[in-house]
Structure 1
Amino acid sequence: MLAFKNNRITITLLTAPIALMLLYGGIVLWLSSKENGVLLGDLAAFGDSFGVVTALFTALAFGGLIWTVLLQGKELSLQRKELAETRFTNAFFKLIDYYKINLENITIKTADKVQLSGIDALIYQLSQFDINQKANDCWYEKNTQKMKVYEYQLFVEIDRSLMRQSRYMSTFESLLKLVDSQVEDVSLKNLYWSIVESQLTVHEVKYLFYRLLVEPTNSSLLDYVKKSGIILSRAGTCGISMRHTEIFKSIHGLEIGRARQKLPHRNLRKDVRKIRRQYGNK
């Protein structure tokens, strides 16, 4: 619609001077062809004025040409922006597809030699991690030397039970990087990051949390997670031990959000106590 409007303005600016020049020339020829004719001086005056008008119309035509170039430049800029947005959207959702494919391609074998893949593989690994990590609880004691042993054993168990799935994690990082580098508008950037976060199950969030825990502090993935808030906003509601979130904060300096969920029966507690006392007295 904008292109059609711009083209119509351009055509008007270019054709109007030509039409006026032809009209002016036609008037001069008509006057000179009358039966009585006109004086040569009058024709000379007409000729001079015609030259002035011609120069004026030429300037107008040139101005119209410049206007056309400017409009085309603006239109080209808009087209490039639309093309860039289209390319980004295509790349973004294609990466999400790759992310899901790489998740499904995760395969492991259980202790019973049963092969698991995708989410089932992560669930099994996380359950094994929780079981094995319980043996390390005896070393948990804040502000003592025992904490060093606890943290060391925690990192060892993460690498043992929750093996790093390179393709899966690389695709996850690529998604965050794409949004961070290509989207300038903050609200739009948050929207795309929310889309990424909506793709993650509780098990994926938990797995990624523990893998991030053992990431180097200068890790680019950790930096993107910090910018986006992904994982940090959900890790607190995924059954992750508060001990581990505290260690995460002390190492990486990132706070894990813990949303307090209000139970529907909590407001009925007083009424329930009254009823129990009444029936207990009978």
Structure 2
Amino acid sequence: MSSRNDLQGRTALVTGATSGIGKAIARNLAGQGASVVLHGRDQARGEALVKELAAEGATARFLAADLSDAQDTLRLAAEAGRVDILVSNAGLYVFAPTAATDATSFDRHIAVNTRAPFLLVGALAPGMADRGQGSIVLVGSSAARLPAAVGAAYGASKAGAEILTRYWATEYGPAGVRVNTVSPGPVHTEGTRSMLGEHIAVLDTTNARGRAGDPREIAEIVSFLVGPASSYVNGAVLFADGGERSALPA
């Protein structure tokens, strides 16, 4: 476990922070002393989380933005202000066959999962570089490397984010900014429960651990990647999948 004060004095922007993995990440970073800017689409959920964190002695504020809209994404970056840590967690996923994925759906996957982090990094990383330090973590997906019979648009959008990680690590690393990706396998979240419904137990059959992950496990990895213990880790894609052995069945 990281020290509570590891991130004291740092400001972290976490996208998709009001549920699932993003919420666990935000809570963890706040618990380590970071001031957290929470992003999401639901104002009520965002404000509720701000109150929860404040009750625990943390500092947080909420900004709503639609990451499928380029200008709104740039507005988010501007309103976040000085950011020392960026965690790009927000994601869109629709697991449909290619023929059932129209251009609008494909474009939304790319916009949220690939373009949004691209715009946020372009807006925030130069400031980190000017200050000589910063950490960026993208939350990827095992879908980027484990093809399935459905979800090609999602997998492509996440694979794009992975290669961007390596480009940014090269571009900003010499200035003291580290860029890494954590690539989770199946994780039990509100989203996966909603998507799979009564078939949710399938998540626990896909890896060598014999269970899906917990959002808090991914949050711990993110805390490692943004903290001082990982100071020599840059341009890495860290697989957190329990020893995944198969893609989800079609």
Shared fold per TM-score greater than 0.5: no
Superposition TM-score, scaled by structure 1 size: 0.24
The structure with the largest strand share of the pair is 2
TM-score normalised to the size of structure 2? 0.27
Higher helix share: 1
Structure showing greater Rg: 1
